[in-house]
Amino acid sequence: MTTEILIIGAGPAGTIAAAYLHKQGFKVTIIEKTKFPRFVIGESLLPLSMDHFKEVDLLECLEKQNFEVKSGARFIRGKEICLFDFSKKYTKGADWTWQVPRADFDKTLADEVEKRGVEIFYEHEVIEVSFNEDSSSVTKFRDKEGNIKEISARFIVDASGYGQVLPRLLDLEVPSTLPKHSSIFTHLKDVKRPNGKEGTLISFDIVKPDVWLWVIPFSNGNTSIGFAGPTEFINSYKGTNEEVLREMLKMSDYYYERFADVEFSFEPHKLLNYSTASKQLYGKGYVLTGNSAEFLDPVFSSGVAFATTSSLLAAKLIDRTLRDEKVDWEKEYTQHIKHGVDVFKSYINEWYNTNLQKLFFHQPENPDVKEKICSVLAGYVWDETNPFVKKHDRVVSSMVHMLNNE
């Protein structure tokens, strides 16, 4: 078999790259290990991704699904509430997005690119890749009966998420520089959901300085709940995953009543030490995008936005590379991507050392500070005109220092 662009994985990173490259006239093939629809975590999107879906004509198929609209986010700490409204953000760009069951969301995207002519092999797993002198490649993959097949390609996009296919095969995995954090989560039929905005607002309930509960209501009446925190803390609970999650729910004064006796849709999943990183993001004939390249932490819902940003950029650079244009992958890809990662990393660190929480809940609110942080929370971490992006490594701690000395 032969293709021009081989994409490993049909998650959002895979399908957005497929949509762009197919539109440029390339033959694109996706190899996907599972059968869709399949469950994956990562259900709260950021407005930034809307710009990307629009650019590759994928917004319309998503709009038809009537996913729950997300126009901001709420942070809760005991009786304190901090509400962000994306329409009041500093950077221009989309000011809303969706809360999505990923099984449906990812299938919608995959079906749409397949309809346009991208070939998708479901239930096929990439197991081996070798590169030729001219940077083309031969990839071995296995179908569910165990038959081994081969496909040659001019370029590979590794969008395999936690599969981290090329980092594993090419020995590119490195430990994340973030502390080891883990998560436990499920879906439930939200039978006690209050009417109106209170019922559908995405919320993060801080139950301990470094442990938080997410509540992501979907338009189908189900809600995703999950805790994230230090691995040691998550592992300190004993019992089945359901027993652990039910016990942890007792920490949430805000949500306990709503979820206590409600049946879970499936046995909760536990994901230990979820942060990922890789030594390099590209090489001759391949690029890593989305989670395969890096995953930080779910606290600001940046995963899918990072997946769409990195994959769309990678697709544009592949297009130019294969048309023999000069591309400086280090500068145009790695440095650009790393910049956004570094901004999010600063905010994640400031979250877990509680500086950011102090800023969020400080009264009275400072609308100027809030609209700039709101841009970061909407995913606009490449907007250097925003001082909260430009000085990401020190702005939060300086603000908190000032507040402490007020």
Q: Which residues of this chain interact with ligand FAD, rule CB under 6 A? A: 8-14, 31-34, 40-45, 125-126, 159-163, 165, 183, 226, 228, 271, 274, 290-291, 295, 298, 301, 303-305, 307
Is 288 in contact with 267 (CB distance < 8 Å)?
no
| Shortest Å distance, C-beta 122 to ligand FAD | 9
Is 349 in contact with 302 (CB distance < 8 Å)?
no
| CB-nearer residue toward ligand FAD: 58 or 399 | 58
| Shortest Å distance, C-beta 402 to ligand FAD | 31
Is 344 in contact with 49 (CB distance < 8 Å)?
no
| CB-nearer residue toward ligand FAD: 158 or 383 | 158
User: β-strand 173-174 against 28-31: which pairing, if any?
Assistant: unpaired
How far is 252 from 82, CA to CA, in rounded Å? 16
Is 138 in contact with 129 (CB distance < 8 Å)?
yes
Sheet with 203-208, edge to edge strand ranges: 80-85, 72-77, 203-208, 211-217, 222-230, 181-189, 269-271
| Shortest Å distance, C-beta 161 to ligand FAD | 2
How far is 202 from 74, CA to CA, in rounded Å? 6
| Shortest Å distance, C-beta 203 to ligand FAD | 12
| CB-nearer residue toward ligand FAD: 43 or 399 | 43
3-state helix/strand/coil string of 16-32: HHHHHHHHCCCCEEEEC
How many whole angstroms from its chain centre is CA 240? 27
| Shortest Å distance, C-beta 127 to ligand FAD | 7
| Shortest Å distance, C-beta 244 to ligand FAD | 14
| Shortest Å distance, C-beta 321 to ligand FAD | 21
230 burial type by CB count under 10 A (0-12 exposed, 13-18 middle, 19+ buried):
middle
| CB-nearer residue toward ligand FAD: 121 or 400 | 121
| CB-nearer residue toward ligand FAD: 53 or 399 | 53
DSSP annotation of 276 reads B
Cα R_g (the chain), whole angstroms: 21
| Shortest Å distance, C-beta 13 to ligand FAD | 3
| CB-nearer residue toward ligand FAD: 10 or 399 | 10
User: Which tokens sit at 20?
Assistant: 């762009």
| CB-nearer residue toward ligand FAD: 244 or 400 | 244
| CB-nearer residue toward ligand FAD: 181 or 370 | 181
Phi/psi region, residue 247 (left: phi>0; alpha: psi -120 to 50; beta: rest), is alpha
| Shortest Å distance, C-beta 16 to ligand FAD | 8
Instruction: Check the CA dihedral 305-160-129-338 and report its sign.
Output: positive
| CB-nearer residue toward ligand FAD: 245 or 400 | 245
How many whole angstroms from its chain centre is CA 127? 24
